Amino acid sequence: MRTRKIGETKWVTAPPANATISHASRNREYHNDANFVGWSRRVYPNGKREIWKQVEKPEAAVQQANNHLFLVRQYQSAGQPMHWSLAVAPENGGAGKVYQVKGDAVYMHYQHIDNVNIFVSNSYADSRQLCELDAKGEQWVTYVTSHVNPPRAVNQAMVRGNCQDWVVQVIQGLEDKSVVSQGSAASCTSWHDYQSNGARLFG
């Protein structure tokens, strides 16, 4: 009996009833022919056998590429420092997870957003790729970002940090967990915004 090879247009011929059995399990027998086509048939307790049928091979699992960790900068209104956040997304950008603190520098709050493409935001400025993440690394990002306190101050005059400082603290925490390379946090401080008098611009 001729039939189409599963998933192809090629014709293949079913093996004869007395074909060599490559292996058997429970109530089935299996045969692999010279064309690398797998066949199986059911065997009943009375010894009766069904005709050979092709074995449908499961689709090969597509290996999911690891995500990467990015420091993302976005423009804010005139006179305000860049907004910093961390994104976990594919290497070439795309939808992913964003971790950030929002609000003014007196009272900021933590925010975690899933399935957002921050790289196409109207306010997107640029980004720096910090590292490649495996599954454990992604778990550490979620953990550390949720455990670093958002910057807060009694009043504007007492402000000593903003979203940029929070991101640096998170990266430092990820250094401690060996998720990012040593020195990553320090290198990111070169992106801090400053006033004309050399003082930090907190917003």
Banded pLDDT at 61 (limits 50, 70, 90): very low
Q: What are phi and psi of 175, to 5 degrees?
A: -60, -45
pLDDT of residue 5: 46
Which has more confidence, 13 or 166? 166
181-189: list long-range contacts, CB under 8 Å, 24+ apart. 181/131, 184/130, 184/131, 188/71, 188/128
- Between 133 and 18, the more confident residue is 133
Please give the single-letter amino acid code of residue 60.
A
**Of residues 145, 164, 201, the one with CA closest to residue 83:** 164
Query: What's the CA gap between 6 and 38, in Å, rounded?
Result: 10
d(CA 150, CA 172): 15
pLDDT mean over 83-110 = 93
pLDDT (tens digit, 9 = 90+) per residue, 122-177? 999 999 999 999 999 999 999 999 999 999 888 888 878 999 999 999 999 999 99
Look up the pTM and report it. Answer: 0.68
Mean pLDDT for the stretch of residues 2-18: 66
pLDDT value at residue 6: 52
pLDDT of residue 174: 98
Rounded to whole angstroms, the Cα distance separating 8 from 169 reads: 55
Q: Where are the domains of the chain?
A: 2-54, 67-188
Residue 16, judged by CB atoms within 10 A of its CB (0-12, 13-18, 19+), counts as exposed
* Residue 102 pLDDT > 80: yes
Residue 196 DSSP code: T
Give the residue with greater pLDDT, 183 vs 155: 183
Q: Which of 123, 113, 72 is nearest to 93 (CA)?
A: 72
26-47 pLDDT, tens digit each? 788 888 887 778 888 988 888 8
pLDDT-derived band of residue 63, with 50, 70 and 90 as boundaries? low
> How large is the average pLDDT for residues 96-114?
93
- Cα–Cα distance measured from residue 112 to residue 150, given in angstroms and rounded to the nearest whole number: 13
